[in-house]
Amino acid sequence: MKPAKSQGQTISPVIALLTEIKEDNGPDFGKVHSFCEELHQGISELGGSFYVFSMKGFSEEGVEGFYYDGDDDEWKKGFLPLPAVIYNRISSRRTEISKGFKGFQNKLDSMGIKLFNHRFLSKWEIHEFLLNEEHLHPFIPETHLYHEQVLASMLGMHDELYIKPVHGSQGRNIIQVVQDEGMIQASLSSLSAKELPAYKNAGDLARAIAPLTENRMCIIQQGLKLSELNGRRMDFRILCHKNAQQFWKVTSIVARVSAEQLFVSNIARGGEVMKPIQTLSLIFGKEQARQQLSLMRELALETAEAIGRNAEGLTGELGIDIGVDIKGNLWLIEANSKPSKNFEERGMKIRPSTKAIIDHCYGLCKL
């Protein structure tokens, strides 16, 4: 491998992925491990080089990381040239808010190395970015930072509420609140459909959930009466990438249908993936489903553009969750700056989302 400059034309760029690495028996890149193999394959086909590294392997002279040795079919450790582009897949928010990470980013800036997907974006940050966009307002559920008084006033307006940690992911630790005949019922997403006892008022509920809300920042969001498929909750994950020309594009859309009796549809929580046009057609008929799906793409692109423009640093990939309510209206549920890679099937081919990431990396090299 030769060092690539990030300025000017690079024909064979060096692209690196940053994540946590376990080294006990051969390197383990966690959730992105098989994705890294795909990236290696795709980038080598284009004549570039790819490696994986963790923060501690980085120095200004070069990087200690893992490259894929095609002859031996395995990842090998080596001292590798500085990359032109880094794809940030650090999975721990704690690492990203550390002083070390900030210093690392400053160093990259001064060296002209581009890092994209700068860091985890919190649900509240994203909400604020989207609120700047007047034309997205009809699609944004009412959302506030959680505290007890807000819980009371939101209960006055909505029969169903969700309380989510702003830094949460994969549907963990979400509290669903439902009002019925003067009683307030709450359930937790972390344990399989764990129901809390019913409460008479907001104050009682607030005290009961205090262990979950006191030490972490949460948002409280209006419930949406999402349309269901045979009684199972459904939402859509739209994976968006910025292409080499710097335009956002939709790479894939899947419908996620929750496991029965569960109010989060995350795959990590036992949900199931289906084709969006089929699921929507079953509920709304084919013609309306087509319009909804088109609007879903448009909405996802507008959302990705708004986030990309407002967030600091470079953003090249976003996973946008959109729900469709029983009236057929679309809602922006949330956006994820480190979307899961497990929705598309992995055959022998390189998946569209991997291609999109590679295209984006090559585009960044030319900027």
Positions in the binding site for another protein (CB under 8 A): 9, 133-135, 137-139, 245-248, 288, 291-292, 294-295, 298-299, 302, 305, 308-309, 328-330, 367
Q: Count Cβ atoms below 10 Å from residue 100 Cβ, excluding itself.
A: 11
Residue 281 vs 340, nearer CB to another protein: 281
Closest CB 327 distance from another protein, rounded Å: 9
Residues 280-293 as b or e (16 or more Cβ within 10 Å = b):
bbebbeeeebeebb
Residue 56 vs 135, nearer CB to another protein: 135
Residue 31 vs 297, nearer CB to another protein: 297
Q: How far apart are CA 77 and CA 63, in angstroms?
A: 10
Torsion, Cα 105 106 109 111, to 10 degrees, reads -100
CA separation, residue 125 to residues 121, 134, 144, 241, 304 (Å)? 6, 16, 11, 20, 14
Residue 234 vs 267, nearer CB to another protein: 234
Q: Count Cβ atoms below 10 Å from residue 20 Cβ, excluding itself.
A: 16
Q: How far apart are CA 175 and CA 227, in angstroms?
A: 19
Closest CB 330 distance from another protein, rounded Å: 7
CA separation, residue 262 to residues 50, 163, 189 (Å)? 40, 15, 8
Q: How far apart are CA 263 and CA 362, in angstroms?
A: 40
Closest CB 194 distance from another protein, rounded Å: 35
Torsion sign (Cα): 5, 10, 11, 14: positive
Residue 10 vs 91, nearer CB to another protein: 10
Closest CB 247 distance from another protein, rounded Å: 5
Closest CB 143 distance from another protein, rounded Å: 14
Phi, psi of 217 (to 5 degrees): -75, 135
Residue 168 vs 316, nearer CB to another protein: 316
Q: How far apart are CA 264 and CA 218, in angstroms?
A: 17
Residue 308 vs 319, nearer CB to another protein: 308
Phi, psi of 51 (to 5 degrees): -145, 170
Closest CB 311 distance from another protein, rounded Å: 11
Q: CA nearest 367: which of 167, 196, 156, 116?
A: 116
Residue 54 vs 221, nearer CB to another protein: 221
Residues 113 and 84: beta-carbon distance below 8 Å? yes
Beta pairing partners, 218: 165
- The tokens for 287 are 């013609």
Q: How far apart are CA 80 and CA 78, in angstroms?
A: 6
Closest CB 138 distance from another protein, rounded Å: 4
Closest CB 132 distance from another protein, rounded Å: 11
Closest CB 47 distance from another protein, rounded Å: 16
Closest CB 363 distance from another protein, rounded Å: 9
Residue 39 vs 299, nearer CB to another protein: 299
Looking at residue 12, its amino acid is: S
Residue 148 vs 325, nearer CB to another protein: 325
